[in-house]
Structure 1
């Protein structure tokens, strides 16, 4: 299998997986809304009620991409790929709970491990890009996704898209979000320190657009924002 930067995979260990469902919804205000709108954007692009094969990259954790899209579009089928076994185990539990396992192929590994054919009708890359250190790793995963999509196929890309230290007000508001959910002041500072050291988001929406362009996608359309987080849709160029 292709080997990613080890720190981007190892941090999603069993302890992280166990707390993911709760912590992700605190860290991202509008977590469920983002996933629901992502499904709606894909359906609006592909056409409602049509069969589709959807690639879900980084599906481990709650598999919320599949839960939301699977409820909206009963004819969609999914290939879910994630390099973390604990996170993939959690996704399996949720998909079983929502009766979506029969419509989902689960793969432990990386996008680069998938065959180039048949190509997918759409893809999602949600909450992944900012965990990859450096532009080279970001370009590599976008290239790998693009080569597995049909021409004109849409990609939902979502994640943090500003350098954290460049937006002190957003960072402070993020701390207040944790305080709102019961974190003590020292815990808030610890979380903010971990955020500053633990991820490498693109530095702007323009940089995201440049990464997408380099991988062969058209200009993105942004449809969701929550502090540092943003979600957009872009089509693979024909």
Structure 2
């Protein structure tokens, strides 16, 4: 993630990191399916059983994208990047539990901190864009990823889109999702307040496509959707 006037990494403290694995699977219905399909889409794009170096941006928390990709493709290796130390520590614990640390380079920081001549076969950016305020920050992280990918390399982008308050029915359904999982009315209101604070999703699928186009990526193919959430595969043009 990029540095902002309010650094989004600051939101992901120890308390949030400790609850992330459970909370994220409630907030995103289909969390594991999205990560599994992301691995399948990258394998379909690169070709199965081919060695690859994959850049995983915003890997903190569950490291689920790495776990899913590693299970599908034993010859892939990963560079996990996240600016939140508590979240990256949590991811490291999951990687250790799945015996994947030997296949993963851990980097506490931002994409632009990586060597400018780094060359990756693919990348993922899952659950990040909506935490970055304004298009400039979103463009910067996409451009930083673009600069470190080989020509034609695929990129998975996934996250919330739509201005939350522009979709009252989806917000209400999201609230019911928490109630379905046992949250009290007070807890649901607290969750609603949290999602409406400190997040700036792209306001449409067209906005996502425009951000990718401006960063040098081609037309994106959507392969997953869940309320506000979408997931797309695109490729670096040059």
Interval containing the TM-score (normalised by the shorter chain): over 0.9
Deviation per CA, 1:23-82: give whole Å up to 9, x if none: 000000000000000000000000000000000000010000100000000000000010
TM-score, structure 2 normalization = 0.98
**3-state SS of paired residue (1:194):** helix
The Cα of 1:5 is off from its aligned counterpart by 4.1
The Cα of 1:6 is off from its aligned counterpart by 3.4
Aligned to 1:209: 209
Aligned to 2:185: 185
**3-state SS of paired residue (1:39):** helix
CA distance 1:111–1:5, change in 2 (3 Å): farther
Q: Which runs of 5+ in 2 are unaligned?
A: none
Aligned to 2:27: 27
CA distance 1:188–1:212, change in 2 (3 Å): same
The runs of 4+ residues in structure 1 deviating greater than 4 Å are: none
Q: Which runs of 5+ in 1 are unaligned?
A: none
Deviation per CA, 1:182-215: give whole Å up to 9, x if none: 1111211111111111210000000000000000
**3-state SS of paired residue (2:222):** strand
Note if 1:126 corresponds to 2:126. Answer: yes
TM-score, structure 1 normalization = 0.98
Give, in whole Å, the separation in 2 of the partners of 1:100 and 1:150. 24
Note if 1:228 corresponds to 2:198. Answer: no
Number of residue-to-residue matches in the alignment: 238
The Cα of 1:118 is off from its aligned counterpart by 3.2
Q: Does the 8 A contact of 1:5 with 1:132 survive in 2?
A: no
Q: Does the 8 A contact of 2:51 with 2:76 survive in 1?
A: yes
**3-state SS of paired residue (1:99):** coil
